Structure 1
Amino acid sequence: MSSLASLLLTKAVTPVIVNTSQSFSLEQLLALAKLWRAEYQYLENKPLALIYTDSASFCVGLLAFDGLCSDLYLCSTELVESIENSCSQLSIDINSPPKQLFSQNKSAVEDPYTLGKLKAQSDTRETVTRWWLASSGTSGQPKWFAHTLASLTLNTKYSNTLSELKWANCYQAYRYAGLQVLLQVLISGATLVDNVTHDLIARLQQYANAKVNAISATPSMWRQMLMTNQLQRVPLKRITLGGEIADQPLLDKLSELYSQASIRHIYASTEAGVGFVVADKIAGFPVSWLQQGVANAHLKIDQNQHLRIKPAHELDAQLEALIDDNGYLDTQDIVRSDGDRIFFLGRASGVINVGGNKVTPEKVETVILSIKGVSQAKVYGQPNSVLGNLVVADIVIEPNQDWGNISRTVRAQCKLMLQRFEIPVKLRQIDSLAMSPTGKLSRSNSHG
């Protein structure tokens, strides 16, 4: 197994990382990685926490330490404490990101080593580094799951079309979804444009100016971008959704705005890796996949209506309790079969108990989001002394829409589409919904 640096040199790709002040070619990133590896040679076969600051620095770290360290913990400053707490038996070396390399070794950027010299480096001593990624940690401490470069790149592709893509960096690169984008950029020889601001309208302006033509984001992030009325200025050719349920109204809106674009929703998790990609612009996935499987995985539905997945790669040992005798992992995602399609209903852990009946918030949200004029919706349980919980919905509507009309339509549609105990007892109009750092709708409970 080769390291990330060796893999990229073998493929002879030419990815570019762009930030506010300059752009970095693979040759420049590899030159800086060589300097960093030399400086930290004492970390050979030791674990290391690599702290993210920006995409170029992070790439240098990955290129330098994959194949050198035994373990790479990809993290933010905030996640470092959880590594120390959960892995106290390991000798974790936590070093600041290589920002100083970009300033102290400016000559390396201006006059990088030639690729020929880099290729001549022997990699016979390279180890198979385990890459550790943290779950989103929405309930309690984040958990860490191990991957290898091989498992992380099972679904990365190379083609001339993919090499021409210019990706926006919407995810945190130390999280699974962000790392997938970063590795796709590197392996396909594409371009990554780093964000310079948290202001969404300013970011979309930046994407338009940089001619970004590929974005991967959660459905919640896509809804926020659509609400700005600025998204259409970005010349998108590839649209990817992941991390949450991709509902049909959202897929239709994106398809209408970008009729020629490739639109894909990806089913994946930090624990198991990429499961499958749906590219037909229809919510859910074909029921035929349960029989024929998908690339790199087999699928089935268990007696609890949970989707189970058996990936081609080896799963983290921590997941043993969720894996059946045939090697299928319980994803904890509830699904339903409808005709020739399997639809996602929501996470088992998020179920609301209403008088002994189970309500999946995402199922109710999908009904509400199908109403014209609704931009975003969040459904949650409000504690009740008699029933345990009552179902409540917070709703964001489009500008110039009448709340009275929309709330009446929502109630009528819910009565039509949902069982009585699933229907929200309270609808609240709000200006915006909070999102987690991973770009998903924040499920930490509601506003009073």
Structure 2
Amino acid sequence: MRTVPVDGSPASVAALADALAAALDGTGPAVRPVAADAPPTPGPTGELPAGAAVVVSTSGSTGEPKHVVLTAAALTASARATEARLGGPGRWVLPLPAEHVAGVQVIVRALLAGAPPEVQDVRDGFRPAGFARTTARLPRDARWYTSLVPTQLLRILQHGNAALQALRGCAAVLVGGAALDPALRERALDAGVHVVTTYGMSETAGGCVYDGVPLDGVTVDIDDDGRILLGGPTVAAGYLGDPAATAAAFTGGRFRTGDLGRLDAARLTVLGRADDVVVTGGEKVAPAAVERVLSAQPGVTGVCVVGVPDAEWGAVVAAVVVADEAFRRDRATAAVRAELGRAAVPHRWLTVDEIPLRGIGKPDRDEVRRLLSATTAAE
């Protein structure tokens, strides 16, 4: 296995693309992309299965990081299914960290379409102006795609004049890595951006459900506990060096996610992580459901809902919001109560300038809880 450090520069991504191309066609070893500035840690150990092409380390949101083994067949199946869903091959623009599965898959899709991706230099972070300069390098008549996290989409809508103009010309903008607020999605659509909401994870070679509909060959089921089960050719081979975790998460060609979901006429709605459910006074509340209601309120541009300990209720719902003067807490409270019931109404509120993030752009719920605890202690 070859470890390839990437630092967000086009040169480092080009080196990773060369290594990925060799891994996909079998002329080179499996590749493990890592952030160049990541603290040095021992690499994963264990025997790679036949056909292994990429090992992606997860963010460790539910514990110690796991090392997901993706075969060339799984990566190719995912890329081809994406190509079919989006309407054919095209050029790809990469503004994401390449060490994450979403970045890897942009590179794989680009390679299979016959041209390397246009890479935005993100060594100093994502900037809408940099995105605009990157897209300007594409051939004028090119059909092209890109993949963003919700935070990047929001920044382009807020500050990216040239970037927004470029994004309007994109055949499809995949948005994943974190839940996309319905209000942000509608704002992007109203701005003329062809947004496609994706759901998936490293264990499924990235997004495998687009706008609630599984890609060709992908199966979606809900188990007795309400958890989402994903199957099909894009499922990973398991976790490198961790047979117990592999046996617990992968069975019968399916991956048991940590997310709760609902199927309505074969369309998937993700209800949030099972581990995030707040039990308050004996009632179960899904933070993602509360976030959807709050994000639709006037003035709200960011929200994260968590459970915090409470002596009387065991736990209560708490909300951290990014909002302007149009936000009215009383209206938000009434909206949550009307749609989700009294138990879902946040007992604690905190307004911040931005939601703490981790990894590729997911809300850092542990940090949100720390902010709430610090605020409560100071009161």
| TM-score under structure 2 length normalisation | 0.79
User: Deviation of residue 164 (structure 1)?
Assistant: 4.5
- In the alignment, which of 191, 208, 212 is matched to residue 257 of structure 1? 191
- In the alignment, which of 219, 224, 233 is matched to residue 165 of structure 2? 233
Describe how 1:146-295 pairs up with structure 2 within 5 A: 146-157=69-80, 163-165=89-91, 167-190=92-115, 192-196=117-121, 197-207=124-134, 209-210=136-137, 214-228=145-159, 230=161, 231-234=163-166, 235-258=169-192, 261=194, 263-274=195-206, 276-278=208-210, 284-285=212-213, 295=216
Describe how 1:10-89 pairs up with structure 2 within 5 A: 47-53=1-7, 54-64=12-22, 67-68=26-27, 70-77=29-36, 81-84=40-43, 86-87=44-45
Does the aligned pair in 1 maintain the 2:20–2:53 contact within 8 Å? no
Whole-Å separation in 1 of the counterparts to 2:257 and 2:73? 21
**Pair 1:355-2:289 in alignment:** no
Which residue does 2:308 correspond to in 1? 382
Does the aligned pair in 2 maintain the 1:68–1:129 contact within 8 Å? no
- In the alignment, which of 350, 353, 358 is matched to residue 431 of structure 1? 353
The 3 A distance-change label for structure 1 pair 441 and 170 is farther
**Pair 1:141-2:75 in alignment:** no
- In the alignment, which of 298, 311, 319 is matched to residue 219 of structure 2? 298
The 3 A distance-change label for structure 1 pair 81 and 229 is closer
User: Deviation of residue 329 (structure 1)?
Assistant: 2.7
Which residue does 2:317 correspond to in 1? 391
Gaps (5+ residues) in structure 1?
A: 1-46, 93-126
User: Deviation of residue 162 (structure 1)?
Assistant: 5.1
User: Deviation of residue 134 (structure 1)?
Assistant: 0.8
The 3 A distance-change label for structure 1 pair 373 and 420 is same
The C-alpha deviation readout for 1:82-124, integer Å capped at 9, x for no partner, is 443x42x68x9xxxxxxxxxxxxxxxxxxxxxxxxxxxxxxxx
- In the alignment, which of 369, 372, 380 is matched to residue 298 of structure 2? 372
The 3 A distance-change label for structure 1 pair 210 and 407 is farther
Does the aligned pair in 1 maintain the 2:68–2:203 contact within 8 Å? yes
The 3 A distance-change label for structure 1 pair 341 and 155 is closer
Whole-Å separation in 1 of the counterparts to 2:342 and 2:355? 26
Whole-Å separation in 1 of the counterparts to 2:30 and 2:15? 18
Whole-Å separation in 2 of the counterparts to 1:443 and 1:395? 13
Whole-Å separation in 2 of the counterparts to 1:71 and 1:229? 38
Does the aligned pair in 2 maintain the 1:239–1:264 contact within 8 Å? yes
SS of 2:99's equivalent in the other structure is: coil
Whole-Å separation in 1 of the counterparts to 2:5 and 2:131? 26
**Pair 1:322-2:249 in alignment:** yes
Does the aligned pair in 1 maintain the 2:107–2:117 contact within 8 Å? yes
User: Deviation of residue 315 (structure 1)?
Assistant: 3.4
Which residue does 1:14 correspond to in 2? none
User: Deviation of residue 239 (structure 1)?
Assistant: 0.9
Whole-Å separation in 2 of the counterparts to 1:237 and 1:63? 25
Does the aligned pair in 1 maintain the 2:120–2:131 contact within 8 Å? no
The C-alpha deviation readout for 1:222-265, integer Å capped at 9, x for no partner, is 23332325342323332111222334323322221126x3x322
Whole-Å separation in 1 of the counterparts to 2:353 and 2:362? 17
**Pair 1:307-2:228 in alignment:** yes
User: Deviation of residue 341 (structure 1)?
Assistant: 4.5
- What is the one-letter code of the residue matched to 1:58? L
Does the aligned pair in 2 maintain the 1:176–1:270 contact within 8 Å? yes
The C-alpha deviation readout for 1:379-407, integer Å capped at 9, x for no partner, is 1223323333222111112xxx425x432
Whole-Å separation in 2 of the counterparts to 1:265 and 1:187? 22
The 3 A distance-change label for structure 1 pair 152 and 83 is farther
- What is the one-letter code of the residue matched to 2:343? F
Q: Greater CA deviation, 169-178 or 333-342?
A: 333-342
SS of 1:155's equivalent in the other structure is: helix
SS of 2:225's equivalent in the other structure is: coil
Whole-Å separation in 2 of the counterparts to 1:189 and 1:149? 17
Report which of the two structures shows the higher radius of gyration computed on alpha carbons: 1
User: Deviation of residue 430 (structure 1)?
Assistant: 1.6
The C-alpha deviation readout for 1:336-358, integer Å capped at 9, x for no partner, is 35577542110112223323433
Whole-Å separation in 2 of the counterparts to 1:164 and 1:65? 22
The 3 A distance-change label for structure 1 pair 389 and 73 is same
The C-alpha deviation readout for 1:134-156, integer Å capped at 9, x for no partner, is 11223443110111111111122
Q: Greater CA deviation, 343-352 or 61-70?
A: 61-70
The C-alpha deviation readout for 1:21-68, integer Å capped at 9, x for no partner, is xxxxxxxxxxxxxxxxxxxxxxxxxx3222223211222333456635
User: Deviation of residue 360 (structure 1)?
Assistant: 2.2
User: Deviation of residue 331 (structure 1)?
Assistant: 1.3
| TM-score under structure 1 length normalisation | 0.68
RMSD: 3.1
Whole-Å separation in 1 of the counterparts to 2:201 and 2:296? 26
User: Deviation of residue 174 (structure 1)?
Assistant: 1.9
Does the aligned pair in 1 maintain the 2:278–2:315 contact within 8 Å? yes
The 3 A distance-change label for structure 1 pair 419 and 78 is farther
Does the aligned pair in 2 maintain the 1:135–1:144 contact within 8 Å? yes
